[in-house]
Amino acid sequence: MRNLFRIYLEKPELAGVALLILLAILFDARSGGAFLSADNLRGMLGLLPEVGLVSIGVTILMICGEFDLSVGSMFALTPMATSLLIIADVPTFVAILLGLLIAAAIGFINGFITLTFAIPSFITTLGMLFIVRSLTVVISGGFPPLLPDELATGIFTQFVGPGGLFRASFVWFLVIALAASAMMAKSNLGNWIRATGGHLEAASAMGVPARRVKLFCFILCSMMAGFGGIIQVFRLHSPLPSIGDGLELQAVAAAVIGGTALSGGIGTVLGAIVGALLIRVIDNGLVMTQVDANWFKFAVGALTIFAVVSNTWLRRTARRMKVEA
Amino acid sequence: MTAPLISVRQMHKWYAGVHALKGVNLDVQAREVVGLVGDNGAGKSTLIKILSGVLRPDKGEIRIEGDRVEIASPKAAMRLGIETIYQDASMVPTMSIARNLFVGREPLRFAVGGIGLIDHERMRRESMKAIGDVDLHLRSPDALLAELSGGQRQGVAIARAMHFKSRVLILDEPTNHLSVKETTKVLGFVRGLPAQGVTGVLISHNLHHVFESCDRIVAMARGEIVFDKPTAETTVAEISDFL
């Protein structure tokens, strides 16, 4: 029992990984090998970076003990701003940077309000969800602006790797995921993020600049969501003001399925990716095995509840264990 | 005579209309162990939170060896050599012993602007040494705080303070929730502080604990210091009258 708890704290994503492998085998067998075919993997991995980036940002923020419900809206506002700048003849690269800067600013406001007025980030960012979505629609003028045909979308969308298995966005995703993972596991900043979420008062008393750590996580989360949105818009070649609707909850679901604790302090970047991938696998696998695709949300919902129940049960068991020791 | 190690002068603190500290004056000499006693709400916690940088005073000054200092954050207190151990809230249960010992002061392999990669090897090695130095025997620096008993956790907190060469160790109710055996060990450690060149301030509800391990006893009531005598010149009964 003691070991099980240890494994959960150190590798909270393990159950998710096991489930992922199980489902992949199941879907592959049921679809007669079509599920793990190169064509299908290409489709699935092409979509992963967009949701995956959002999940990583949300997970890191949750580890430090806060929430962001405005990521779905940021997923739309950032590429909308970038698109409008490109249409106004700003160089693409600069437009992307400015878009991300706006995302950073919104993340800062989320954090600043939450920390200054000591209110739940759940509420701050719920408000921001509406504000940012509204801003997106207003600046779009009500319908998607037209991106120029010669836009350099290839930096995210061209197929690379053996047999053209991945889109370039997947490489971006991989690099960012590795950097985020290294930050959480190997840097002092990662240690501070975990400590801040694990026990805020203790972390502060031990000299961790908890307020600045939280602000950083809010900003990072918002920028990750914005970047995911930019990748999606470049793939679709159209900045729809409605994209990312409901994504905030999917990202929280991915984080939780990947083992992140709602109370903070526990979670990994790999868990976020596993969670996001599991959601994609369920989505795609249901189609490939010809199950009615309307069961998708049912499955994700059931999995989320199951993940939280089992995580909470583990922690409660651990607490009882401690009293006996 | 040299200036006291810590000198608090005319310290005031208000919380939303409550006058928690009413012009407190306190000197702590180097290598002395002071016991701070008093009822709940007497102001002990407020006073030590100011010394450890968690709270800022509204009025008054702090001198360290005669020099006026501002303790603006826990980090600033640590830089002055003041380490604080709280009853049971001073550690992160979901992190390893090594990470807890060094959080906020991790040994880095290289860093830009204070952020960098942790030297895990060195951190684990120094953790084992720090734990051994306070006579605590734990099998691995990778064990999680949540896996330890209350006494072991307090031991890790003490190891943390000692490892960073604190000059002043403040212990806020360190024996709460501890078994009798563990309590004896912590009190023995407090008594041994001067021998290691460390000055101690022990906050406790328990007068017997204070008598057992302190050179001098200071009692607070209603935000003021009402009693201050060497342990040898007083009795439990005498102090009880002041509380």
DSSP string, A215-270: HHHHHHHHHHHHHHHHHHHHHHTS--TTTTTTHHHHHHHHHHHTT--TTSS---HH
ipTM of the complex: 0.84
Dump pLDDT digits (tens) for A85-107.
999 999 999 999 999 999 999 99
Section A212-218 average pLDDT: 98
Do the chains contact at A202 and B90, CB–CB below 8 Å? yes
Are B185 and B239 within one domain?
A: yes
Residues B208 and B222 in one domain: yes
Distance of CA A47 to the CA centre of its chain: 13
The predicted model gives B123-149 an average pLDDT of: 86
Instruction: Tell whether B140 is covered by a domain.
Output: yes
Give the domain CATH number at B183: 3.40.50.300
Å between B91 CA and nearest CA of chain A: 5
Structure tokens at B73: 């954050």
Residue B222 lies in a domain: yes
Cβ B169 vs Cβ B33: under 8 Å: no
Residue A5 structure tokens? 């708890």
> How many other CB atoms are found less than 10 A from the CB of residue A35?
23
Q: Quick one: pLDDT band at residue B89, thresholds 50, 70, 90?
A: low
In chain A, the residue whose alpha carbon lies closest to the alpha carbon of B78 is: A207
Residue B147: list chain A partners with CB under 8 A.
2, 5-6, 322, 325
Cross-chain CB nearest to B74 (options A10, A199, A205): A205
* CB-nearest partner of A265 from B94, B103, B108: B94
Whether residue B94 and residue A198 make contact (CB cut-off 8 A), yes or no, is: yes
Task: Report the C-alpha gap between B92 and A194 in whole angstroms.
Answer: 9
Q: What is the pLDDT of residue A154?
A: 77
Quick check: is B191 in a domain?
A: yes
Going by C-alpha positions, the residue among A274, A296, A297 that lies closest to residue A285 is A296
Residues B105 and B147 in one domain: yes
Containing domain of residue B131, as a range? 95-165
CA of B31, closest CA in chain A: separation in Å? 24
Domain limit, last residue, from B165, B199, B227 = B165
Spatial contact of B76 and B135, defined as CB atoms under 8 Å apart: no
d(CA A82, CA A80): 5
Q: What is the pLDDT of residues A129-146, one digit of tens each?
A: 999 999 999 999 878 888
| pLDDT confidence bin for B143, thresholds 50/70/90 | confident
| Same domain flag for B140 and B184 | no
Q: How confident is the model at residue A195 (pLDDT cuts 50, 70, 90)?
A: very high
CA distance B66 to chain A (A): 25
Question: Which residues from A are below 8 Å from B127, CB to CB?
Answer: none
Instruction: Tell me how far apart the alpha carbons of residues B47 and A286 are, in angstroms, rounded to a whole number.
Output: 63
Q: Which amino acid is at B141?
A: P
Residue-wise pLDDT tens digits, A116-131: 999 999 999 999 999 9
Q: Are residues B57 and B133 in the same domain?
A: no
Fold (CATH) for A2-324:
ABC transporter involved in vitamin B12 uptake, BtuC (1.10.3470)
Sorted by sequence, the CB contacts under 8 Å of residue A136 that are 6+ apart come out as A73, A76, A77, A80, A241
Whether B174 and B228 share a structural domain: yes
Residues B149, B127 share a domain: yes
Q: Are residues B21 and B69 in the same domain?
A: yes
Q: What is the pLDDT of residues B196-220, one digit of tens each?
A: 889 999 998 888 899 989 999 999 9
The residue from B108, B143, B165 where one domain ends is: B165
Q: Is the predicted pLDDT of residue A324 greater than 90, yes or no? A: no
Shared domain check, B175 and B126: no
Q: Which residues of A touch B78 (CB under 8 A)?
A: 207
Q: Using an 8 Å CB-CB cutoff, list chain B residues near A198.
A: 92-95
Instruction: Say whether B99 and A204 touch across the interface (CB within 8 A).
Output: no
pLDDT of B1: 57
Comparing CA positions, the residue from B9, B4, B7, B6 lying closest to residue B59 is: B9
Provide the number of structural domains found in chain B: 2
pTM metric for this prediction: 0.90
More confident residue, B40 or A266: A266
Q: Tell whether the model's pLDDT for residue A69 goes beyond 60.
A: yes
Contact A61, A267 (CB under 8 A): no
pLDDT band at B185 (very low <50, low <70, confident <90, very high): confident
Of the residues A4, A5, A7, A191, the best mutation for testing chain B's interface (the one with the most B CB atoms within 10 Å of its CB) is A191
User: Are both B207 and B112 inside the same structural domain?
Assistant: no
A265 to chain B nearest CA, in Å?
7
Select from B84, B116, B144 the Cβ nearest to the Cβ of A6.
B144
Q: A207, B75: Cβ pair inside 8 Å?
A: yes
The verdict on residue B88 lying in a domain is no
Cross-sheet strand order for the sheet of B6-15: B18-28, B6-15, B59-64, B67-69
pLDDT at A281: 92
- Strand, coil or helix: A118: coil
> In degrees, to the nearest 5, what angle opens at C-alpha A200 toward C-alphas B150 and B84?
55
Please report the number of interchain residue pairs, chain A to chain B, with beta-carbon separation below 8 angstroms: 95
Tell me the residues of A at the B interface, defined by beta carbons under 8 Å apart.
2, 5-6, 9-10, 182, 186-189, 191-192, 194-195, 198-199, 201-209, 265-266, 318, 322, 325
Domain boundary among B105, B132, B165: B165
Pick the residue of B71, B75, B78, B95 with the most A CBs within 10 A to test the interface with A by mutation. B95
Rounded to whole angstroms, the Cα distance separating A62 from B159 reads: 30
